[in-house]
Structures are given as structure tokens and as C-alpha cells.
Amino acid sequence: MANAMKIAIVDDEKDMRQSISQWLALSGFDTEAFASAEDALKTLGPEYPGIVITDIRMPGMDGMQFLKKLMSQDSALPVIMITGHGDVPMAVEAMRVGAFDFLEKPFNPDRMTELAKKATVTRRLTLDNRALRRELSDGTGLMKKLIGSSPVMERLREDILDLGQADGHVLIDGETGTGKTLAAHALHAVGSRAGKKFVTFSCAGLEESALAARLFEPLDDGGIELPLLEVARGGTLVLEDIEALPLALQSRLLAWIDGQGTPPETRIIAICNLQEQGKTCESALRADLYYRLAAMKITLPPLRARGEDILSLFTSLSEQFSEEYGCDTPDISAQEAAQLLQAPWPGNIRQLINVSERAVLQNRRGSGSIASLLMAESDENETTMTTEGKPLKEYVEAFERMLIDNTMRRHKGSIVNVMDELCLPRRTLNEKMAKYNLTRSDYLS
């Protein structure tokens, strides 16, 4: 809400500061006033939770110099300039530099309130997006499920952040179990539609007539539910298994998309599940519909392409299941780590979750091995271990990182205890932690 945001009022005239502050306070804003730009800069930083309203003519640092300083700190900070009669050319220059808008004296207080509301909404969206970006990079909250430090996962997170800010429709593809629905949730969460409706629906499993009614048919007097395209209005509609949509309904969906205009009121995120079958979504959709949806496209990486992320995910999942079942987390040997890295993972993350849970249950019984679990998974999926080789150095480094990470977790960041258990001198441990981007503070509790 607007009243949760601050408004910094900067003006050398005391009466003007007070009158603006009083008016905005009556409108529900939290205000703070400064007699000079120099004083304001002591408080205003890149993450200032609000906006700035400043006079353009002030002694010392004037409004233009002040604006340029603020823009150098945070170009997304909304600054509303107050100008005198005849200062319009200067106001135009301020807009070019980055000002949000300007008010010419004598100004209408209602106009100031209107601008303040628009500016605070813009600021809140900026700060929320920054927080989500940090959340994504830190791997916390909802985005924690998108963990991984491999290049393909870093690229995926950046793609989600970038496409999340856009308005166009998106096509997501990838093998089964790679997290396509999670990626759709993330796209919605980091965009301007966050907080609005998020509706998911599978295009598979219904007859064409039932599918048409669920997606397109209007509400009638019989109390039938609103069609999903109407339910999701203003938000995001996720169409899973888009490849199962019959051609006739593809035509209707295309017509609906074209009728929305630009930017679309409702965003479509289409999820395609053909990749593991060696097919493409392009082959299953009308060309014009495909290109409407695939103008923005994300492909989820298979687990086997994520390198040491496999070991990080296995450790994280094992810890979760160990806590759930009230038993110790299983330790894995270098050979077992190599087997995890070499497995083809046709079921991807979903399959790794199963293996992690079974490993914990085996460990609780004191029997079994990772190799036997992987063999059982391979038999169930009629697959074999991958023959794609990797340099020995990659296996050694992945195992070494996992070993240090697990030991740091077990000893809650105690460097002395980790040194003792791993028989490493302090300097060597520090070098390896720096190499693998491990930070002691992450393990303190």
C-alpha cells in the first residue's frame, strides 16, 4: 500500500516543506522533510523505501545537481521536481536526466497526491523485484527449489528474471521432472502480475468438447464455472501439456491471443512435454500459435547436464528426508558420488528425490548402497548408466566440494573441527572453500 512507502520532501523553504508534508500525511503517506539536498543525501540510499519530492531551485546543491546525484546512486528512484514559473525548460532537462515527473508552482495538491501514488507504486515494484532477484540468487523462499551453481542453472535464473519482467507469452520445455511448473510459478512471481491470479490447467486427459468448454465457453444461466481464460483474466494462465491441445482449439487459442492486443491482459505460459520423446513442440502446434508462444522460450536443463549440482541436490534432499524420518543423513563415498554424477537421470529432479528418500530409508536400516538404488531406478526406467565420460578432475572436485560442504554443515561452521576431521591445514581449507565458493557464515547457527 502507498502509506507503507516514505516520501522525502526536500525544500529550503520551511513553509513549503511543512505544507507539502501535512498534505501528504493527510493522504496517508509517511513523510520526512529536509532543508537541503546535502542533508537529504545523508539518508537517501540505493534502497530508499520511497520516493523524493524536491524543489529545483535551492541554495548550495540545487535540484538538478541533487537529481543527478540520486540517479547515480539509484537510477530507479522516482524523483518529482517542483519548478517555478518559467522553469519548464529546466524541468524538461530534469525528465531527460531521469526525473519521474514535475509540478509547476502553484500546483494543485490533488495533482501532487496523484503523482505521489503513481511514483510509490512504481518504487514498490522496483524494490519488490530487487528483493525477488536477491531471493533467486540466494536460493531462499520459493526460489530455493531452483538451487544450483552450475552455469546452466545460473543462466536459467537470469532468464526467469528477465522474461518475468516482460509481458509476452512464454513457452517452457524440457524433459520430464526438470521443474517446468516451478519455473512457471517463478516467472509469475518475479513479474508485474505477482499477486494476481495464477491458474494452471493440463490440456491432456479431456475430450475435445470438454476441453473447449473448460477453456473457452462463456458462463450460462445454468451456473457453469467461468472458462479458465476468464478466470485468469489479468493474471497468468499456465497451459501444461500444450502439445495435447487439438488443432481446432489451437485455432481458438490463437484467435483469443490475437484479440488481446499488446501488451496482453492475461499472460499465457505454455508447458510442452515432448522433449523426452525426441520430438519438438513446434511439430505439435500450428506454426502461427507456436511462434506466438515461443517468442519467449525457456528450456529447463536435464539433471545430467548440471554437474556438481547433482551432489548438492542429493545432500539437500537427504537432509530434508533425514529430518522427516528422524535419522542420520547418509554419508556417500567417492565411488557413490561418481555414480550419482554418471547416472543418466531420465526422471531428472523427480527421480533424484526418489533416490534420496530411499537412500535415507536404507541408511536407517543400515543396509543397501547408492549403486543398488541407481540400478533399481535404471531397471524401472529401462535405462542404463550413461557412457558419457567426464575428466577425472571434475569428479574429484565435485566430490571434494560435497565433502567439505557436508563436514561444515555437520560441525556448524567450526573451522577447527573441520580441519581435524578432514586432516587439512587451515590455509588449504581456506583455499578450497574459496575455490568452491563456500562461506563459513552460511553454516553458523
Query: Tens digit of pLDDT for each residue in 1-60?
Result: 334 689 999 999 999 999 999 999 988 899 999 999 999 999 898 889 999 999 988 999
Which is more confidently placed, 382 or 303? 303
Q: How high is the pLDDT of residue 383?
A: 43
Report pLDDT digits (tens) over 101-121. Answer: 988 888 888 989 999 998 998
Q: Cell numbers at residue 413, please?
A: 561452521
Q: How high is the pLDDT of residue 138?
A: 44
Tell me the torsion sign for CA atoms 330, 336, 340, 341. positive
Q: Name the most confidently modeled range: 210-224, 272-286, 338-352, 377-391.
A: 338-352
Q: Count H helices, E strands: the chain?
A: 19, 10
Helix, coil or strand: residue 54:
strand
Q: Helices 109-138 and 14-26, interaxial angle, to 10°?
A: 70
Report pLDDT digits (tens) over 346-360. Answer: 889 999 999 999 999
End-to-end CA distance of the chain: 35
Total-model pTM: 0.59
pLDDT confidence tier of residue 433, bands split at 50, 70 and 90: confident
Q: Helices 426-435 and 392-410, interaxial angle, to 10°?
A: 110
Is there a common fold for 2-131 and 140-301?
Answer: yes
Which is more confidently placed, 137 or 149? 149
Given a contact cutoff of 8 angstroms between Cβ atoms, the answer to whether 226 and 214 are in contact is no
CA distance 242 to 239: 6
The fold adopted by the segment(s) 2-131 is: Rossmann fold (3.40.50)
Q: How high is the pLDDT of residue 97?
A: 87
Q: How high is the pLDDT of residue 221?
A: 44
Q: Does domain 140-301 have CATH number 2.60.120.260?
A: no
Map out the domains of the chain as residue ranges.
2-131, 140-301, 305-443
pLDDT confidence tier of residue 379, bands split at 50, 70 and 90: low
DSSP states of 251-318: HHHHHHHHHH-SS-SSEEEEEE--GGGT--HHHHS-HHHHHHHTTEEEEPPPGGGSTTHHHHHHHHHH
User: Is 282's pLDDT higher than 70?
Assistant: yes
* H-state helical runs in 172-243: 180-189, 208-215, 228-231
Given a contact cutoff of 8 angstroms between Cβ atoms, the answer to whether 329 and 405 are in contact is no
CA distance 306 to 69: 43
Which is more confidently placed, 391 or 237? 237
Q: How high is the pLDDT of residue 385?
A: 41
